[in-house]
Amino acid sequence: MKVVLALGSNIGRRFDTLQGAVDALFDAPGLEFVALSPVYETDPVGGPPDQRAYFNAVVVGRTMTLGPRAILERALGVETAFGRVREEPWGPRTLDVDVIMVGDLMSDDPELTLPHPLAHERAFVLVPWAQADPGAVLPGRGSVAGLLADLDQSGVRLRADLALQPPG
């Protein structure tokens, strides 16, 4: 199954945190690396307006053994390892790892809704995802490229000076 994870950071050493997250997500067995997007600097969405801009990226993996709950637990563990504290909804964070999709699975579980219920509205997810996987399709919503055509992308800026490395 294809697994799509969206990464974001706006506290501390944002780029180093994203690179560390990529490495940590694929450090344990069960998740195989497939593709990684460029880094984008994005305006904060939904939270206090005085936040620092985010660095965002999308990583695509593949699993034959992990279920959605195990992928979520891995994502949450990586967030914790990088100092994620959940004090303020939509607030600043050292690291955010969102499970966007796991194969074609659809789930209304409040702890892990699949695909991610807001992914189709978020240019900061779809722009990097389209770069990592140009033919991507968001289950139940359509092609990522088609979804992007309907979104304002002005708050999403490529950071050509920064390049994440595949997990090593």
Q: Which residues are catalytic?
A: 84, 93, 96, 98
Q: If we measure between CA atoms, which residue out of 113, 60, 114, 124 comes closest to residue 90?
A: 124
Question: Could you write out the DSSP letters of every residue in 133-144?
Answer: -TT-EETTTEEH
Question: Residue 163 in contact with residue 131, Cβ under 8 Å?
Answer: no
Between CA 140 and CA 127 the distance in angstroms is 18
Question: Residue 164 in contact with residue 17, Cβ under 8 Å?
Answer: no
Between CA 148 and CA 89 the distance in angstroms is 25
Burial (CB < 10 A; 0-12, 13-18, 19+), residue 8, is buried
